[in-house]
């Protein structure tokens, strides 16, 4: 996006010959995760990160992405892990650089206001989520797909998209899924855990006594990705822990009343 702030805009010296840029960035991400992510609570200590040497080193090394060759990402799992991790870290980078204190809604159009330059192309969080990970699908409440066929980013979309991706992307808000770090060699199992954690968490309420499902608006915004109401119910049945609520889903899920919960945009810090 031409009006986005490129967070890795400083031109760095060429990466040393033979350097695995993805591995180098993964090492820095691992350090941020170890020091500032509370994986049990799904929280990020933004204030401590903002003041840390680990964050300054990570931000400096994102310049390596400018010359990173995306064609070197071979295999669906490798690509999924790369883009999910880049999305989550880019959002954290944006929260810190744009000075967010209480909510990403402090900045109008937050998810298109900053970007990374990767392989000579610019990617905002919106570009990564809707263009790459959702298979170039139209964002909610917008008219157009992110990438036209002529866009140089178009060849990097991931098809078909996996609806479990919605449980891996962290938008920096309390109602979004908890943050994690994804590995190509275990991403399928990690995505199952992410889906199960979200579906058995506070954003999904199954109330048999009221013949009611109260669900995160994520299921509403991306209903088509989940396969409509039946696809949503099937996903809930697949991941909900055994018990009366799962039994209710199997018996009444597609006929029960449906309400959308509010979305808490307060920072997940």
Q: Give me the pLDDT at residue 178, please.
A: 85
pTM score of the predicted model: 0.92
Q: Rounded to whole angstroms, what are the CA distances from 73 to 68, 78, 79, 185, 227?
A: 10, 6, 6, 13, 29
State which H helix or E strand residue 79 sits in.
Answer: helix 76-97
55 part of a folded domain: yes
* In a shared domain, residues 112 and 244: no
Mean pLDDT of 104-112: 96
* In a shared domain, residues 125 and 227: no
Which of 182, 211, 227 lies at the terminal end of a domain, its last residue? 182
Please answer whether residues 65 and 8 qualify as being in contact, where contact means their C-beta atoms are separated by less than 8 angstroms.
yes
* In a shared domain, residues 145 and 208: no
* In a shared domain, residues 34 and 150: yes
Q: Domain range holding 96? A: 5-182
List the single range of 38-52, 102-116, 173-187, 202-216 with lowest mean pLDDT.
38-52
* In a shared domain, residues 169 and 256: no
Start-to-end Cα distance in the chain: 27
Q: What is the pLDDT of residues 6-34, one digit of tens each?
A: 999 876 555 555 556 767 777 887 888 88
d(CA 124, CA 113): 7
């Amino acid at each position: 996006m031409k009006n986005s702030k490129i967070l890795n805009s400083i031109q760095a010296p060429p990466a040393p010959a033979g350097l695995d840029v993805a591995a180098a960035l993964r090492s820095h991400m691992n350090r941020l995760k170890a020091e500032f992510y509370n994986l049990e609570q799904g929280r990020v200590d933004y204030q401590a990160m903002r003041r840390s040497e680990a964050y300054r080193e990570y931000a400096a090394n994102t310049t390596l992405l400018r010359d990173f060759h995306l064609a070197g990402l071979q295999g669906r799992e490798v690509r999924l892990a790369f883009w999910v991790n880049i999305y989550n870290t880019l959002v954290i980078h944006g929260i810190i650089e744009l000075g967010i204190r209480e909510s990403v809604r402090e900045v109008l159009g937050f998810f298109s206001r900053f970007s990374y330059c990767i392989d000579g192309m610019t990617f905002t969080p919106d570009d990564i989520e809707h263009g790459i990970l959702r298979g170039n699908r139209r964002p909610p409440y917008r008219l157009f797909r992110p990438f036209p066929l002529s866009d140089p980013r178009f060849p990097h979309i991931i098809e078909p998209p996996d609806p479990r991706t919605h449980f891996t992307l962290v938008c920096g808000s309390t109602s979004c899924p908890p943050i994690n770090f994804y590995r190509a060699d275990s991403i399928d199992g990690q995505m199952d855990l992410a889906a199960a954690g979200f579906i058995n968490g506070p954003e999904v309420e199954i109330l048999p006594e009221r013949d009611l499902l109260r669900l995160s608006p994520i299921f509403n915004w991306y209903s088509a990705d989940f396969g409509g109401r039946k696809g949503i119910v099937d996903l809930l049945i697949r991941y909900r822990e055994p018990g009366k609520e799962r039994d209710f889903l199997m018996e009444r899920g597609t006929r029960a009343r449906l309400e959308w919960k509010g979305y808490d945009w307060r920072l997940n810090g």
